[in-house]
Chain A
Amino acid sequence: MATTSAGDTTGKTYHDELAIVREELDKCMKCGNCMAVCPVYGAEKVETSVTRSKIAVAQAVLDGKLELDDPQVYQMMFNCLVCKSCMTACPTKVNFDRIMLAFRAALVRKNGLPWLKKMIFSTLKHPKLFDAGMRIGAAMQPLAFKGEDGGASITPRSPFAKFGAGIGMDGERKMPSLNVKTLRERVPEVVRAAAPKMKVAFFTGDSLNYIYPDAGMDVIEVLTANSIDVHIPKEQNCCGVPVLVHGDVETVRALAKKNIDAFEKTGCDYLITACGSCGGAWQHDYTEILANDPVYATKAAHWATRTYDISTFLTKVITLREPKGKLDKVVTYHDSCHLKKSMKVSAEPREIIKSIPGITLKEMKAPDTCCGSGGSYVLSHYDTSSAIGRKKAEDVTATGADTVSVGCPACMMQLFDNANRYGKNEDVVHFVSLLAESYRREKSA
């Protein structure tokens, strides 16, 4: 059977028409291999948490036996970290991410985004945590809406901003702004290297831009130290994954097109990311959501092949300038789900970490199990997220490492929280920051 459920002859994709995922559902044998790897099932231990049951329920909806907006149905569909672990363990290669996105998009079409948000967050148990998320969102909001005219055609760049609307956190509400300068405010659109050999474009994503600008600066520093000019287009915005996973397909299409336009202007051949979700969006999601777009399908396909995680670029495309500054650290590495399972990047960050003098890399048990973050999952399903995160924190601590490194900002937030709560308060850093630190030490020595 063909497995091209990305689109059909009517020009629609599974994001627009639920029935298109039927073929994907039929691939599931109900063998249950997903039970071995699903972090949500591991924490909750009920069949409804695991992928195959979500597929069974999806089939029941398509067969008219259950309603799409039955509360249990949408709660099941949203009780997923979108970590894609099930997809790596699936013998018949069911693309569960497509099924889940198709359902979430169908829900948004049926009842609207505000309804959906209200439903997902109606059972919030930790308002303080949610509030913190929203404060970040509020801080991003002025930027997110900058450059748009009128209210109707607003395309927010921030997932948090988009989510804020409809639950009392819309643009009307005054929120204290975060007192940080964002990454893109800190740097010019082009950062030149001393003797440039090539140029790349850096897609910062929201998390590096707003929450971890220092890690973003380290990406730029490492690239320029390797004699590469870095273009950081000001017009780029959120990759759209946080919006996509909540079923708001049209917003993601708009974001994707804007991002593609912004990067076409750079004239660069390489697009660098330092976040597995952002990179995954460029490599996979954009080509799928724009599969039938007369103009952007080709452009998305082009950029999909030009997108590299910073670690892959440094180790496979160029010859990495050998780090010589010594860092006296014991480091363990956490495989971000989207970096490993979507971008297939796991050896490269380790290669970089191991190349730094003084660092001992100690692997944790099951480094590629999810940390429990899952974007807004940590907000909407705090207990399960926390149970998954606790296990990860304990695995980190068991290595005796003083530092846990990772390649995805969302994991950094979750690991930071859980290392404090359940671990030994280990340092949490992006692996690129270790490399940048080594270069700096070499310079100051």
Chain B
Amino acid sequence: MLDQKIIEQLEALAGKENVLTSKADMVAYSYDATADMPNQTPDVVVLPTSSEMVQQIVNLARENKISIYPRGAGTNLSGGTIPLKKGIVLSFQKMNQILEIDAANLTARVQPGVVINALNSAVAEHGLIYPPDPGTVATATMGGSAAENSGGLRGLKYGVTKNYIMGMEVVLANGDKVRFGGKTVKNVTAYDFSNLFVGSEGTLGIITELTAKLIPAPKYRRTMMGIFKTIADAGNAVAGIIAAQVIPATLEIMDQMTIKTVEDFAKIGLPTDAKALLLIEVDGNSEDVVVNEAEAVMKVVTENNGDLQAANTDQERDQLWTARRNALPALASLNNTVVLEDATVPRSHITDMLVACEEIGKKYDLTLGTFGHAGDGNLHPTILCDKYDEDEISRVHKAVDEIFKAALNYGGTLSGEHGIGIAKMKYLEDELGKSGTNLMRNIKLSLDPENVLNPGKMVPMQEV
């Protein structure tokens, strides 16, 4: 428990209405969207309304050695916002103003609590979009998604969050406020700070403002689905599409287990004996180019023995998307706990990785379905289990260990888009080696020597 004096000081800094302390309030900030994580209640939740207020809170916390956990919407999937060592949760949901939309420079300046979709709605009237589209666009905040470097379904063609953050204002652990980057397309002044803080998961500084890059909204699109009798055919189709020099906006894959579950759940007429399904969408601002790309994709699907469906209307497009949209809900309906991983491999190993996930599921007698972003090699092996069954949970943990091992063996990475947080910290050295984790600790300690910012996440500290 925090000293009542600290609470009073926080109330003086942030206003009584922005400081929450009741037991029920603490429960409400004890979790995020990650399954199978330790839940921990904070001592206090503060909702700052300005970056100056954030500076004052950070100074108070550091002087009293109290941990701080910045939090957007709390929708991350790596345990990144859980207040593991108690202390202060800094919730940014009241700093949710879009400060400027600069259509001439294709940029927007926002406070961290702006929801991604809110930004997209606001820039839509200028014919622009902010492309990163994690599954949580309707809820996740710009600050949170920058801190987690969120990906999404359009990653292959449009990239991820880090490709769209041009500048920031960050409050450091020492209380300093720094601004860097901005509206210029080119900027090589000093270190590339944006890329240091994007994906830093709240461990290096607290993001209090962002300058985001916007692009013209694509005017045309074509959507297709290919259904395959073998995983190899689907994998070859993915490779074939890229070889045909088409970069689809979306290139999604679902394995047999996911197809079956979706069909049971949504009854949309998917063939349950199919081994894999690809959902492909091409888009762009030239109708000719988009049509040509769609034709090339359809040719590849057919050449690889795929059963092809193409959408000619928005309604048909919606039908094709139904399968993908239902993947997670359908799988989740099978049990009370959803362990959703994001192991990622080079695109050429998609088939190997899908087979490996299936075998690992069988080996540990688990219900495991895999879907994901085949175009960028980012898969979501999803295990459905009963949190009240200790034996099953221990098998889940072993299976997850093996999934990461397999991904690394194929030259892949632990996390394509969910981040390290609590969930994957123990695997970090497997990918980076001792020198890599040392580098992380050195960076962390030089910016936050007292380890007050989001402790227990991402950076393994114990071996200092």
Does A associate with B in a complex? Answer: yes
Enumerate chain A interface residues (CB-CB to B < 8 A). Answer: 1, 26-27, 29-33, 35-36, 45-48, 53, 56-57, 60, 65-66, 70, 72-73, 76, 91-93
Q: Report how far A27 CA is from B336 CA in the complex, Å.
A: 5
CB closest residue in chain A, given B135: A31
| B91 engages A26 (CB within 8 Å) | no
Interface segment, one of B23-31, B198-206, B212-220, B225-233 = B23-31
Does A72 contact B24, Cβ atoms closer than 8 Å?
yes
CB of B137 to closest CB in A, whole Å: 9
Residue of B nearest to A37 (CB): B138
With A45-B96, A46-B93, A93-B333 already in contact, the answer to whether A56 and B31 are too (CB < 8 A) is: yes
A46, A56, A57, most chain B CB atoms within 10 A: A46
Min CB–CB distance A279 → chain B (angstroms): 26
Q: Size band of the B side of the interface?
A: 35 or more
Contact yes or no, B96 A72, CB < 8 A: no
Query: 17 extra interchain contacts, Cβ-Cβ under 8 A, other than A46-B28, A91-B329?
Result: A26-B387, A27-B336, A30-B32, A32-B73, A32-B139, A35-B75, A35-B139, A45-B47, A45-B96, A47-B93, A48-B28, A53-B27, A57-B24, A57-B27, A66-B27, A72-B24, A76-B24
Q: How far is the CA of A404 from the CA of B401 in the complex (A)?
A: 58
Chain B 1-40 against A: per-residue CB contact (8 Å), 1 yes, 0 no? 0000000000000000000101111011111110100000
B92 nearest in chain A by CB position: A45
- A45 touching B24, Cβ below 8 Å: no
Query: Which 3 pairs between the two chains have the least Cβ-Cβ distance?
Result: A72-B24, A53-B28, A36-B138
A36 and B27 form a contact (CB under 8 A): no
In the bound assembly, the distance between CA atoms of A46 and B336 in angstroms comes to 26
Contact yes or no, A92 B333, CB < 8 A = yes
Given contacts A46-B91, A47-B91, A93-B333, whether A66 and B31 have CB atoms under 8 Å apart is no
Q: How many Å lie between the Cα of A26 and that of B35 in the bound state?
A: 11
A60 touches B33 (CB 8 A): no
Q: Answer yes or no: B94 CB below 8 A from chain A CBs.
A: yes
Whole-angstrom distance from the CB of A3 to the nearest CB of chain B?
8
How far does the Cβ of A284 sit from chain B's closest Cβ, in whole Å? 20
Q: Which residue of B30, B33, B94, B336 contacts A1 across the interface (Cβ within 8 Å)?
A: B336
Distance of A33 Cα from B329 Cα, bound (Å): 12
Whether a CB of chain A sits under 8 angstroms from the CB of B332 is yes
**CB <8 Å contact, B23 and A70:** yes
In the assembled complex, the Cα of A32 lies from the Cα of B115 at a distance in Å of 13
A70 CB contacts on chain B under 8 angstroms: 23-24
**Chain B 37-78 interface residues, beta-carbon cutoff 8 Å to A:** 45, 47, 73-75
A-B contacts, 7 of them at CB < 8 A, read A31-B136, A32-B139, A56-B28, A56-B31, A66-B24, A76-B24, A93-B329
Q: How far is the CA of A27 from the CA of B329 in the complex (A)?
A: 11
Cα distance A46–B29 when bound, in Å? 10
Q: Determine whether B334 belongs to the interface, using a CB cutoff of 8 Å to chain A.
A: yes
**Interface set, chain B 77-116, CB cutoff 8 A to A:** 91, 93-94, 96, 115
Q: How far is the CB of B301 from chain A (nearest CB, A)?
A: 28
Q: Name which of A29, A73, A92 has the most chain B CB atoms within 10 A of its CB.
A: A29
B74 touches A47 (CB 8 A): yes
Most buried by A among B24, B35, B333: B24
Asked if A91 contacts B332 (CB within 8 A), the reply is yes
Question: Given the complex, which residues of A lie within 8 Å of B73, measured CB to CB?
Answer: 32, 35
Contact for B94 among A29, A45, A56, CB less than 8 A: A45
Instruction: Collect the chain A residues with CB atoms within 8 Å of residue B24's CB.
Output: 48, 57, 60, 66, 70, 72-73, 76
Contact flag A46-B20 (CB < 8 Å), given A1-B336, A30-B31: yes
Q: Given the complex of chains A and B, what is the CA–CA distance between A92 and B32 in angstroms?
A: 16
Q: Which residue of A lies closest to B115 (CB)?
A: A36
Task: Decide if A47 touches B329 in the complex (CB within 8 Å).
Answer: no
B117 touches A56 (CB 8 A): no
Nearest-CB residue, chain B, relative to A3: B333
Specify which chain B residues have a CB less than 8 angstroms from the CB of A26 in the assembled complex.
336, 387
Closest to A74 in B: B24
Nearest residue in A to B75 (C-beta to C-beta)?
A: A32
Contact partners of A35 in chain B: CB under 8 A: 73, 75, 138-139
Query: Cβ of B335 < 8 Å from any Cβ of A?
Result: yes
Q: Are A33 and B336 in contact (CB under 8 A)?
A: no
* Chain B residues near A29 (CB-CB < 8 A): 33, 35, 332, 338
Contact B32 A91 (CB under 8 A): no
Q: A33 to B115: give the CA distance in the assembly, Å.
A: 12
Expressed in whole angstroms, the Cα–Cα distance for A45 and B96 within the complex equals: 10
A65 neighbours in B (Cβ, 8 Å): 27
| B20: chain A residues within 8 A (beta carbon) | 46, 48
> Does B328 reach chain A (CB closer than 8 Å)?
yes
Q: Mark B128-156, 1 if CB is under 8 A from A, else 0.
A: 00000000101100000000000000000
CA distance A57 to B74 in the complex (A): 16
| A89 closest partner in B (C-beta) | B138
> Which residues of chain A are near B138, meaning CB under 8 Å?
33, 35-36
A56 and B30 in contact (CB under 8 A), knowing A35-B73, A45-B96? Answer: yes
Give the chain A neighbours of B35 by CB distance below 8 A: 29
> In whole angstroms, how far apart are the Cα atoms of A33 and B22 in the complex?
24
On chain A, the residues within 8 Å of B334 by CB distance are 1
**A53-B28, A65-B27 given; A33·B139 CB < 8 A:** yes
What B residues does A57 contact at CB under 8 A?
A: 24, 27-28
* Interchain CA distance A111-B387 in the complex, whole Å: 33
**What are the residues of chain A within 8 A of B332 when measuring CB–CB?**
29, 91-92
Q: Closest residue to A23 on the B side, CB-wise?
A: B336
Cα-based distance from A30 to B333 in the complex (angstroms): 14
A70 to B24, CA, bound (A): 8
How far in angstroms is the closest Cβ of chain A from B130?
17
> How distant is the Cα of A91 from the Cα of B24 in the complex, in angstroms?
25
How far, in whole Å, are A65 and B27 apart by their CA atoms in the complex? 9
- Evaluate contact between A30 and B33: CB separation under 8 angstroms: yes
With a cutoff of 8 Å between Cβ atoms, the chain A residues found around residue B23 in the complex are: 66, 70, 72
| Chain A neighbourhood of B333, CB < 8 A | 1, 27, 92-93
Could you say which of A27, A33, A65, A91 has the most chain B C-beta atoms within 10 Å of its C-beta? A91
* CB-defined contacts of A73 to chain B, threshold 8 Å: 24
Distance (Å) between the CB of B239 and the closest chain A CB? 31
Give Cα A367 to B383, complex, Å.
38
A311 to B231, CA, bound (A): 49
Q: Whole-angstrom distance from the CB of B42 to the nearest CB of chain A?
A: 11
Cα A29 to Cα B75 in complex, Å, equals 10
Closest chain A CB from B72 CB (angstroms):
10
Docked Cα-Cα span, A91 to B333, in Å, equals 9
- Tell me the bound Cα distance from A35 to B91 in angstroms: 14
Using CB atoms, name the residue of chain B closest to A92: B332
Least CB distance, B17 to chain A, in whole angstroms = 10
A47 and B28 form a contact (CB under 8 A): yes
Query: Nearest chain-B residue to A32 (Cβ)?
Result: B75
Shortest Cβ distance from B96 into A: residue: A45
